[in-house]
Amino acid sequence: MAVKAEYLWVDGTQPTAKLRSKTKILAAGEKPGIWGFDGSSTNQAPGDKSDCVLQPVFVCPDPIRGGDNIIVLCEVELIDGTPHPTNTRAPLRAVAEKYADQEAIFGIEQEYTFFKDGRPLGFPVGGGYPAPQGGYYCGVGADEVFGREIVEEHMDAVLAAGLHLSGINAEVMPGQWEFQIGPVAAPQVADELWVARWLLYRIAEDHGVSATLDPKPVKGDWNGAGAHTNFSTKAMREGYDAIIAAAEALGKKRQEHVDGYGAGIDQRLTGLHETAPWTEYSYGVSDRGASVRIPWQVEKDGKGYIEDRRPNANVDPYVVTRLLIDTICSELA
């Protein structure tokens, strides 16, 4: 029996990288090994030195093809076996290993927006706008919810792939949704998010719909799309002083984090629509208008996690998890 292995990797497109994939046929029981691709077609190599290497790092069942077929997420390497310059997973691995004793875990809330024929699902065909925001968030009914059949199919696929899905919900703007991956340590949480994104794109494709991670898919008085990132270390799960120390540490490196939290962040972090201005840093209990939110339950319990609300929907999860570990764990060490 042959096994279809869908090899996934992150390309070199700027300012926001894309997922690429292709299929390799394996013999039954064969372990997926390294493979190659044309880097000149993915913004990762010049034409006269186009070979790049795919190094498998995360394997899970393929819920779309079913059976024994698999998804193989890869790091991109140069032909000498060193990480490719576009490989953001490699530096994350190094930082995660350095602070492994702090037992950092993440939950990433991935927002996205469905588009069809150049408009978000739920926006009138031919132009114009739907009713203002208000009833769409966690709504029900054909007049308020759009694309649920794709969302349900995606949820089932993510679970069948064995990923750590913790929930889904309709978001504030029509055609906008969210799924959450975690709590999981890095780099696995980022690996799983990339695979879950690929499954989303692939399933929406079957419905003639595209899923975009544009941080501000519609200009004006409409919510943007983020990837709120929840973070906790062993010390934070044991005491409140570490929670405050973590929040304070992020303020010391505001610009570095903003620079790494996704292209177009200035369009989304305006101070409106449940965001803090990208030029400022703040944190507060139960404050969704702050850069970092401390959940009320965390304050009550005196331990737990914080939510960094700044990352864009289009953020590279390898980058955001690396920045959070490096900034906070160095402070708590």
Residue 283 forms part of a structural domain: yes
32 and 172 belong to one structural domain: no
Token pair belonging to 190 = 């980022």
Q: What is the pLDDT of residue 126?
A: 87
Report d(CA 305, CA 214) in Å as an integer.
Answer: 27
Q: Strand ranges (DSSP E) for the chain?
A: 2-10, 19-27, 35-38, 51-61, 70-77, 105-116, 119-120, 165-170, 176-184, 210-212, 227-232, 283-285, 292-294, 306-308
Please report, for the domain that includes residue 249, its CATH number: 3.30.590.10
Residues of the chain falling short of pLDDT 50: none
pLDDT tens column, 92-122? 999 999 999 999 999 999 999 999 999 999 9
Q: How many domains does the chain have?
A: 2
Among 246, 240, 254, smallest CA distance to 296 is for 240
Asked if residue 267 and residue 225 are part of one domain, the reply reads yes
Any idea what the Cα angle at residue 212 is, between residues 259 and 56, rounded to 5°?
A: 75
Are residue 278 and residue 141 in the same domain, yes or no?
yes
Position 91 in a domain = no
Q: What is the DSSP letter of 32?
A: P
Does residue 307 belong to any structural domain of this protein? yes
**Which residues are within 8 A (CB) of 33 and not within 5 positions of it... i.e. 6 or more apart?**
56
Identify the domain boundary among 41, 67, 86: 86
- Per 3-state DSSP, the chain is made up of helix, strand and coil in percentages (nearest 5) of 30, 25, 45
Tell me if 136 is assigned to some domain. Answer: yes
Q: Is 82 helix (H, G, I), strand (E, B) or coil?
A: coil
CB 305 within 8 A of CB 272: no
The residue range of the domain holding 40 is: 3-86
Q: Is residue 262 left, alpha or beta, with left meaning phi > 0 and alpha meaning psi from -120 to 50?
A: left
**31 and 180, same domain (yes or no):** no
The whole-number pLDDT of residue 1 equals 85
Q: In this structure, are 14 and 139 located in the same domain?
A: no
Together in a domain, 24 and 163: no
Of the three residues 24, 55, 86, the one that is the final residue of a domain is 86
Residue 33 one-letter amino acid: G
229 pairs with which residues across the strands? 108, 308
125 and 72 assigned to the same domain: no
CATH assignment of the domain containing 40: 3.10.20.70
CA torsion 54-59-63-67 (nearest 10°) is 100
Distance CA 86, CA 196 (A): 20
Tokens of 42: 């993915």
Query: Cα dihedral sign for 181, 163, 193, 327?
Result: positive
| Cα angle: 94, vertex 98, 102; to 5 degrees | 130
Instruction: Tell me if residue 254 falls in helix, strand or coil.
Output: helix
Last residue of a domain, one of 53, 86, 119: 86
